[in-house]
Structure 1
Amino acid sequence: MNTIIKHIKIVACITVLCSSCNTIDYDDTNDNPNGPTDAVTSQLLTNALSSIPDIVVDETPILYMQHITEGQYPGSSRYSGLTYSYDSWYTGPLQDLNEIIAINSNPEIAEDYAIYGANANQIATAKTIRAYFLQYMTDRWGALPWSEAFMGIENPQPKFDTQESLYDFMFAEIEDVLSLIDHSASGPSGDILFDGDMDRWEAFANNLKMTMALRISHVNPSLAKTKFEEAVASGLLVTSNDDNIEYHYGTDDASDSPWMDNFRTREDYILSRTMVESLRENLDPRLFEYAAPARDSVSTVTNFPDAIDAGYVGAPNGNVNGNVPSYSFINNEIIYTPDYPSPIYTAAQIKFAMAEAAVNGWDVGGGDAATLYEEAVTASMEYWGVATEDITEYIAAHPYGGIEDIAYEKWVALYLNGPEAWAEWRRLDAPALVPSSYANDPRIPVRHAYDASIADNNAANYADMISFQGPDNLHTRLWWDIH
């Protein structure tokens, strides 16, 4: 009897289980009940824009450019990084922007997404910032997978597009952006940069266009001239500090400045001796705005009246500078203010570009190289809070004398804007920076090499890239770097 009862129980359990399986729907097992089921383009845009600090506070090129150096753990200031991966850009912000463009370009669903801003303006915004990211990437690595990228398993081994073709693509994108922007319609939601202000996005696009044009001025001067003059004619270039394009941070840990994060628990970065002594030698009042006095030492050399510069001490580039309080830190306001903004395009940067364009004989809308040079220096010093009389005195002592002066002053004005300072230094081959004597290979890098996995996983296209670009190392010059 016990055996019969056992068998009955087993059959009953099996019946219940089978019945349950027939009624349960497992289709949404992996769905997050608290997350969106469809793409939300406003969130995609916010996420993409939050990658801008990775560019404007990219410490590696800042160290290359000897604005700052490292304390007791020198790495990038010794050029120790040999390969760098671009994967996170493709799988992160670029993919977000591609999705925004694809959704708003799809006539079957675009209307549904207009709640996040006019479709054309969403596309224009995404294309603008995508071009900005792409310029940063190609000016860092050179050739990149692009025309065959983002295809997933359909093409896991994309070819590398030349840097020249990437610049052609970016120029075409910006022209498309400028034709798409609709000032009468709503801007994109999720825009943490300009809060949907399409006038500002049009200005961003034109300043990016001008920057790209100048970058290729040595290798394709005719195209550079055309694009530069178009940007000038737009009337939207940043020529006043009131119009500077900056990235503004929040005050919470999730959105505060990377500089504050860098100094929250450690003190790894100190002023480079190159920068400090350049400013001291030229009696440049920006010394007192860029840096804080050293806590534990004074300089053996002083140039300013009453030795007011004695407390400003730079460290040797790439040395193990273990006693960091003996050196000057970055201005306290920058590293200890959570929402201190980072510049993207400034009046000084644009005025120096216009001064160089005037040297080239391009139409800059008025003003010669000397005048624009003075306006650029003035804009830089005013941005940093230098007194008017000190600006006048400095310019009188350092009048415009040629492209070398533009290159030097641009290097100073781009303080802490590492990618842009690095690119312009490579393009102009000035000012003369002495590589760190502590580096195994005492040459300042002129590009970054690809992650080692590329050669293994995309061998044929990697070999083809080397055939037209050159060896994959830190010292192969990029397409536009020919001067």
Structure 2
Amino acid sequence: MLKNILYTTLFAITLTSCSDTLDDINKNPNATETPLAPYLLTGTLKQGADLYWGSTNNFDSSLLFVQHWAKIQYTEPDRYDVSNTSFTTLWNTGYATLITDLNTIINFPQEQANSNYKGIALTLRSWTFLLLTDAYGSIPYKEAGLKVTPAYNTQKEVYTGLLEDLKQAQSLLNTANGTVTGDLSYKGDILKWKKLVNSLRLRIALRISDREPALAKQAAIEATTDAAGVLGSNSDTFKFTYTSSPQQNPASAWFETRDDYRISKTMVDKLNELSDPRLPVYAQLPSDASVGKYVGGANGLSNSDANSQGFAKTSKPGTYFLTSSSPAVLVSYSEVLFNLSEAVARGYISGDAEQLYKNAITASFNQFGITDATVIANYLNQASVKYDAIDYAKSIGTQKWIAFYGQGLDAFTEWRRLDYPVLKSGPATVLDGNLPSRFFYPGTEQSLNGTSYQAAIAVQGKDLLTTKLWFDVK
């Protein structure tokens, strides 16, 4: 009996010892026991920029859909020959990484994150939700991060909810509420974050303008009359500036090992038509010096036809976008000026729509290093560039499409909303002459959140690339 007791005691001690040892072994010596707000903020800014400018959501999808870029080989995405596994990155990273980490900051006690951290986190979360709904339509919003199988909210519910979230973010942001570190975009400048909040409110106002004009007008007025203002210069542009490998611009990293994209012929033709000085910024001359001019790749070709255009005879995107330190612009000053111009044109706010339109184009030129006043004036004075007050959507839509070059997700949204320029599908595309109107939901939603998924498409429409979203009324 005594022998059995001794064995039992020794066995228990051994188990306890092993458990303690395993606990020690499984600890990461480089990890903090409690996540820190500055590290989470830095991480979400970098991951958000990668998500926005990376291959899956940008140059392998949305940049092709709006014909900023074209594929010269492996042309399936340029022909819209894609599946519900093609657009998972925006969804998965948006929810599992960005929104999760931002919610952590928002839910921190005051001693771990002051209200400025929370205001910034709420702003970035709103930006993330906006990207998701613009791309997919109805999405988990109110229950996101709270339930394993969250219900979807309609796009109208998401947009109106985000307007309220951004009001709350504005109330949290105050220079007296403590310092912020880990902010690689605005270096802790709370006044710039407050301008970004209002600029996003103005963006959403125009998203809902064709569906809810009264609410859109109210939101535009509130955004533009708030004391903090909107982005007021190119120095206010919301962007993430990369450095060198491995913290380099995603497009730069891609072109180090691959060569399957060209600037679109649609873009080159438009820039040539307008004698646009941004062409040498947006494109490189072909490597075959005998060509001697910028040559875009046609969209929607078969692999053989795309290849036959000639790798050395077509233009890659400009080096401005392909260097390691190229910035990921997320919300530009130029966009805000175009939005102000449209808000005036719609009668939401007072101002000079034509002058704001000119200022927006000028801001885009300046953003890309074109500052010669004579060059800019000559461009603005062209009949094909001058502001058309009767068809403001054509003027703003066309120039916004050009200015958004490289920002595929927002270019895709604004092209669908304003319907300019008029784009045509390529000869080998698979949507019966149509262009995409949205992203597919990830296939995992059908298997892991099937009830909510089915309820969403019953209201929104079939889970097809051609199903128009709520904001897209034409």
Q: Please indicate, yes or no, whether the TM-score normalized by the shorter chain is above 0.5.
A: yes
Indicate yes or no: 2:99 matched with 1:89. no
Deviates more, 1:53-62 or 1:472-481: 53-62
Q: 1:180 maps to which residue? A: 172
Secondary structure of 2:164's partner?
helix
Cα deviation digits, residues 227-282 of structure 1 (max 9, x gap):
112222235322422332221112231x1111211111112211110000111122
SS in 2 for 1:344: strand
| TM-score, scaled relative to structure 2 | 0.89
Alignment of 1:82-481 (within 5 A): 82-83=83-84, 84-85=87-88, 86-104=91-109, 110-111=110-111, 113-114=112-113, 119-151=114-146, 155-234=147-226, 236-253=229-246, 255-296=247-288, 310-319=292-301, 320=303, 321-322=306-307, 323-335=310-322, 337-364=323-350, 366=351, 368-386=352-370, 387-397=372-382, 398-401=385-388, 402-403=391-392, 404-441=394-431, 442-481=433-472
**Which amino acid in 2 is paired with 1:45?**
L
Tell me how far apart the structure 2 counterparts of residues 19 and 213 of structure 1 sit (CA, whole Å): 66
Aligned to 2:81: 80
Moved over 3 A (4+): 11-25
Per the TM alignment, residue 14 of structure 1 is displaced from its structure 2 partner at its CA by 9.0
Counterpart residue number, 1:107: none
Q: Is residue 125–residue 188 contact of structure 1 (8 Å, CA) maintained in 2? A: no
Deviates more, 1:315-324 or 1:423-432: 315-324
Task: Give the partner amino acid of 1:224.
Answer: A
Equivalent-residue separation in structure 2 for 1:289 and 1:19 (angstroms): 71
CA contact (8 A) 2:282 2:320 kept: no
The SS at the match of 1:260 is: helix
Contact 1:239 1:346 in 2 (8 A): no
Q: How many aligned positions are there? A: 448
Q: 2 CA distance for matches of 1:51 and 1:244?
A: 18
Deviation at 1:328, TM superposition (A): 0.8
Partner of 2:33: 37
Q: Deviations over 1:447-467 (max 9, x none)?
A: 111122322333332221122
Check whether the contact 1:298–1:312 (CA below 8 A) recurs between aligned residues: no
3-state SS, counterpart of residue 347 of structure 2 = coil
* Structure 1 residue ranges without an equivalent (≥5): 1-10, 105-109, 300-309
C-alpha distance 138-25 of structure 1, shift in aligned 2 (>3 A): same
Code of the residue aligned with 1:420 in structure 2: it is D
How well do the aligned residues superpose, as a CA RMSD in angstroms? 2.3
Residues 241, 347 of structure 1: 8 Å contact kept:
yes
Provide the rounded CA distance (Å) in 2 between the counterparts of 1:239 and 1:192: 20
Inter-partner Cα distance in structure 2 for 1:298 and 1:350: 41
Match of 1:52, SS state, is: helix
Aligned counterparts of 1:242 and 1:454: Cα–Cα separation in 2? 40
**Structure 1 residues 380 and 21, CA gap change in structure 2 (3 angstroms):** closer
Per the TM alignment, residue 137 of structure 1 is displaced from its structure 2 partner at its CA by 0.4
> Could you tell me whether the CA contact under 8 Å between 2:138 and 2:460 is conserved in 1?
yes
Alpha-carbon offset, residue 36 of structure 1: 1.3
CA distance in 2, matches of 1:276, 1:128: 35
Amino acid aligned to 1:244:
T
Distance 2:39 2:23 in 1: 23
Q: Which moved more, 1:20-29 or 1:290-299?
A: 20-29
Distance 1:460 1:16 in 2: 53
What per-residue deviation string (whole Å, max 9, x for no partner) do you get for residues 319-369 of structure 1? Answer: 23333221111112321x2112122222221111111112111214x3x22
Q: What is the SS of the residue equivalent to 1:264? A: helix
Alignment gaps of 5+ in structure 2: none
Going from structure 1 to structure 2, the CA distance change for 1:426 and 1:370 (only over 3 Å counts) comes to same
State the one-letter code of the partner of 1:127. L
Alignment deviations for residues 77-112 of structure 1 (CA, whole Å, 9 cap, x no partner): 1112232322232211111111111123xxxxx32x
* Partner SS state of residue 47, structure 2: coil
How far apart are 1:192 and its partner, in Å? 1.9
CA distance, structure 1, for counterparts of residue 241 and residue 149 of structure 2: 38
Q: Larger C-alpha radius of gyration, 1 or 2?
A: 1
Preserved contact between residue 276 and residue 313 of structure 1 (Cα < 8 Å): yes
Following TM superposition, by how much is the alpha carbon of 1:377 offset from its aligned partner in structure 2, in angstroms? Answer: 1.6
